[in-house]
Structure 1
Amino acid sequence: MINVLFVCLGNICRSPMAEAVFRDLLKNENLADKIKVDSAATSSWHIGSPPHEGTLAILQNYNISAEGLVGRKLTKSDFDQFDYIVGMDESNLRNIGEITGKANHAKFIRLLDLTEHKKDVPDPWYTGDFQETYDLITDGCQSLLKKIRSEQNL
């Protein structure tokens, strides 16, 4: 089993959106039995909380399930449990390194570095633009799946 973890600051906007989008991609590609997906926060602000209403609305608009999405904090042990740890922005990557004690590890990826965008996924908590975040995350998730398929011979 290949394990993928999406990480953002609060685990209520970007990372649960990425988890849901990636799960949907896996379901459509018949890979859900080969790749496990989760999401986490680098902060403890929203532990146990459901995704932001904007995230839930955009997922519903695209008929993507939000089932089981609950905020949790990244732990040091996540480093050992996940093959790909995907941050939404540079700050997330720094925080992932601090929390896991493994700065700049090869399994850490900034999602949009896999795309032509090569930038941070904007946080819709601040921008209010959940559509832009969804579009960028969808592009990033498609690129991530392509990378995983290539690296894992799927």
Structure 2
Amino acid sequence: MTFRVLLVCMGNICRSPTAEGVLRHFIKINNLGDKVEVDSAGTHGYHVGEAPDSRTQRAAAVRGYNLSQLRARKVARQDLDYFDLILAMDKSNFDNLQRMAAPEQQERIKLFMEYARNFDDDEVPDPYYGLGHGFDLVLDMVEDASLGLVDEIKQKLGRA
């Protein structure tokens, strides 16, 4: 059985690719790579086919995450069936996903920060229009939530 996780922000060039890269790293070091599939997408198609924002890539690289191979894509309806867990970076994208989803798909959609242990925030802030330090904050939040998510996945898969 493969557990599939989709991480979603608006354009899929800052927050969700960061989360994809970080989560993939933690999945790998926890030896779950053969059991967990991770992808990311955006609710809007502004940047389809583009690599993550250069500022996002630089901030991630400082911490050892390589996002250069990722490419932005837009959430497709079939994603709502395919993925076991669909995690929105903020409430706006959560609402967009809920509107797309059929009633039986609703329970798969959650806020990514529900898995955080050290942050009380519900949302990962969008650093796109902000100053450079926002990218480090995004990484701090994403690392925290990813660790919590990996623990939950290990429990689901019976490998606590």
- Is 1:4 the counterpart of 2:5 in the alignment? yes
Identity between Structure 1 and Structure 2 (%): 34
Amino acid at match of 1:134: L
2:154 corresponds to 1:149: yes
Distance in 2 (CA, whole Å) between partners of 1:102 and 1:72 is 24
Question: Following the alignment from structure 1 to structure 2, what is the Cα–Cα distance between the partners of residues 153 and 82?
Answer: 19
CA distance in 2 between partners of 1:102 and 1:144 (Å): 24
Structure 2 Cα separation of the partners of residues 53 and 68 of structure 1: 12
Write out aligned runs for 1:5-154 (5 A).
5-102=6-103, 105-115=106-116, 116-128=119-131, 129-154=134-159
Whichever residue aligns with residue 147 of structure 1, its letter is E
Q: Which amino acid aligns with 1:77?
A: Q
Moved more, 57-66 or 104-113: 104-113
Unaligned runs of 5+ in 1: none
Could you tell me which amino acid in structure 1 is paired with residue 25 of structure 2? D
Q: How many corresponding residue pairs?
A: 154
Q: Tell me the TM-score normalized by structure 1.
A: 0.93
Extract unaligned runs of 5+ from structure 2: none
Q: Shift of the alpha carbon at 1:3?
A: 0.6
CA offsets 1:86-131 (integer angstroms, 9 cap, x no match): 1000111111112234498221110112224142100010333100
